[in-house]
Chains A and B, each alone.
Chain A
Amino acid sequence: MPVATAQPASPAKPANPSTAGQKDVEETSDRPLAVGASLIPGALVHGAGHFVRGEKKTARTLLLMEGTGLGFVAVGLGGLALTGASRRVVTPLAMTTIVGGSLFLLSWVADVYGSARGAEPLGRPGFVPSLETSLGVRGIYDPIFSHRFLVVESIDARFGKLRLSPSMTLAPGRPSTRARVEVGYRFLGEAPEHVGDRSRPSRGSYLEAYGGVTHHAYTVDAFQLTTFEWMLQGRVDLRLLGRLLRGSFAELGLGTGVVRNHYDALGVNETTTLLLGKTAFGTYVGDGRGEVALVYDHRRDGFVGGARLPGIPAGFLGSGGMRAKYFFTEELGLSAEMLFGGAYLGGLSVVVRQ
């Protein structure tokens, strides 16, 4: 009679490290101290909060990120100061400053987030839908323009690595229409899926290039802006930096544009250029349900424009704010945004994905 040989039990597969609901750190009572440290001295020494929570490797990574960012800012701003913002070098120096400023801010916000985070991440990345449409309204206050409400509609359609994203924004009270089309190509990142097709855990990281055209007609004010632009943008899941940052992500995008300014009553067309840069820090919410992000956008065309700052540094910054999206069902959700620049803008959209 053959002897059954007990086979050793297969080692348990490690749980998906980025699954919401799965603890990946122990509960700890030092979170308030860590959050405090991430603010003071953390505002100057990024990673202080993670250090208090015992995540020393992540703390060193964030500090390195801060140092790199400051280095980029020093090179960028220093170069701008030394050259008097020379027309010959201003674009790469300004881009260097934006990258440096982004790294600096992202490392600090990541430290605050990780310090405050509980035992579980807030969420994990969701799938990339093949089709997503949205329709919503925004309230806007701009002391110069009298439009107060905007209707916003957009479509994101993905065909493999390609993305086609038309959108339109209308200001009914004071006729003004902004129509935009983006065509993107995703070099790296998850392929699009249909609802119900999800077969593998999603990763949020991606790298994409897009080209876009925006036409903004200010009918009453008798001018139109047409912007032709390109951007290289990407997102990195910050779980790569440490376990307290699981469920969070950082984004960065850089590009340039050409703006055609048309003055209706004058029959005049003139061309200017535009520097594009944006950054964001966010967290996924729920099990692929949604995300929340703090954003900065350097562009100053569009309804919000750049920040009207008091004092000497007037005119140099773009807009900042928050965006969020959450799906209550597999197909249906809401998105929200709040932006502060030369105007205050906020509102909601209904989002449908397939």
Chain B
Amino acid sequence: MRRFSSVVLTIIGSVALLSCLDPASDRAARDERVGRAAAEGTTLTVTGGHGAVRALGQDVAHVWGGAPVLDIVIDLGAVSPATFTLRLENLLPDAVVVARDENDAPLDVVTTASPAPTERSLALTLKGARSVRVHVGPPDEASSDPFRIIVFGDVQEAIDEVQDIYRRMNDEPTARFVVMVGDLTERGTEDELVRFQAEMKTLRLPIFTTLGNHELGTDDGEPYGRYFGRGSDSFVFHGARVTQLDSASATLDPQVYDWLDGWLAEGRGGVHIVTMHVPPQDPIGTRAGAFASNAEANLLLSKLGRAQVTATFYGHIHSYYAYENAGIPAIITGGGGAIPERMDTIGRHFMAVDIDPRTRRVESALVPVDHD
């Protein structure tokens, strides 16, 4: 009986350990640190955490953009260098970079290299400035004109064929940027993330993304955070809000719910698009490709519905579904090439999403990549 009891307790303990209640808590804590770095007396802050600081030195920095508009604050150490080299990746192709010192005086900004439409290397002439404020944004950032974005997800092991998708995306001349709903890679390794970013160089648009469950295959998604930035973030473009949530663990961390409450309040009354990788509900419920808890899924959807979110986009399921959740139009777009759902006649695809902030209209159309 004692032996049986000890076996029972061991099994229960193992199941309990496996059933972790806060699998996303470390990632939420890392999100709070994204966009901040300090080295050799220099500190750099990307306001709002809307970018990953890839490297920082006394007179050099490398930032991967996580939003269409960036504000970067660079505080220099005791010795202000003559020139500061700033490498920016994942920018809007028409982004304009403006730099000012602590007295709001403009600084000279010279583009020294632009190896891709979304990348700039800049030389900032500091003239003794101790603090630099860099603003990156398109010329029409104050506009509320309609615009188009692209939404897609789930490339994973199909990285060798992703150029087919990017070529087709480049044929969307009015699209301003791409929102990706996770599963960039197969296991989230550094090599895979570097490869994904390298393949992006042929795309004329930046990709603002959240992570998927496959990025958790390496150190709970830690490499993803270093290369791409936050898993949960929210930004505004032309008056429309885009919120990306880290649901890679089939749940949201309690910290993310706190952030979400603020973003929902700020987005109320306007266009608010919410994206995440694992959908709260799978339209094919018996498949359970959704949140681990039905109750949590409905809690989240109830919040989104009461906040009048305009549209939701998800990945994780490698097909296309259009439905409603809590009355909000929902689209699953997992057509980035990962093992596809068979017998669905869909194939690889992405979504072209037209947004009109003035009329709060959001219209989505599937763009096929594979033509049978």
Contacts and interface: CB of A to CB of B under 8 A. Distances in A.
Nearest to B12: A322
Contacts of B289: 85, 315
Interface stretch (B40-48, B170-178, B210-218, B364-372): B210-218
Contact of A275 (B20, B252, B286): B286
A48 interface: no
A313 B20 CA distance: 13
Interface in B241-278: 248-252, 254, 257, 278
B254 A144 contact: yes
A216 B294 CA distance: 11
Contacts of B249: 308-310, 314-315
B274 to A, nearest CB: 15
B334 to A, nearest CB: 10
B45 to A, nearest CB: 30
Contacts of B325: 270
B286 A90 contact: yes
A312 B3 contact: no
Contact of B298 (A86, A113, A218): A218
B11 interface: yes
A342 B339 contact: no
B1 interface: yes
B57 interface: no
Contacts of B11: 109, 294
Nearest to A304: B293
A308 B23 contact: yes
Interface size bracket, B side: 35 or more
Contact of A84 (B19, B21, B306, B339): B339
A35 B10 CA distance: 13
A301 B324 contact: no
B7 interface: yes
A276 B109 CA distance: 62
Contacts of B285: 259, 272-275
Interface in B4-21: 4, 7-8, 11-12, 15-16, 18-21
Contacts of A341: 19, 292-293
A256 B294 CA distance: 15
A221 B278 contact: no
Nearest to A340: B19
Nearest to B334: A84
A81 B157 CA distance: 14
Nearest to B295: A305
B232 interface: no
Contact of B278 (A83, A94, A122, A315): A315
Q: Which 8 pairs from chain A and chain B are nearest by CB?
A: A315-B250, A305-B293, A273-B285, A306-B292, A84-B341, A275-B286, A272-B285, A340-B19
Given A91-B287, A218-B295, A273-B286, 4 more contacts: A85-B341, A225-B294, A261-B301, A294-B8
Interface of B: 1, 3-4, 7-8, 11-12, 15-16, 18-23, 187, 213-214, 216-217, 220, 248-252, 254, 257, 278, 281-296, 298-299, 301-302, 305-306, 317-319, 324-327, 339-344
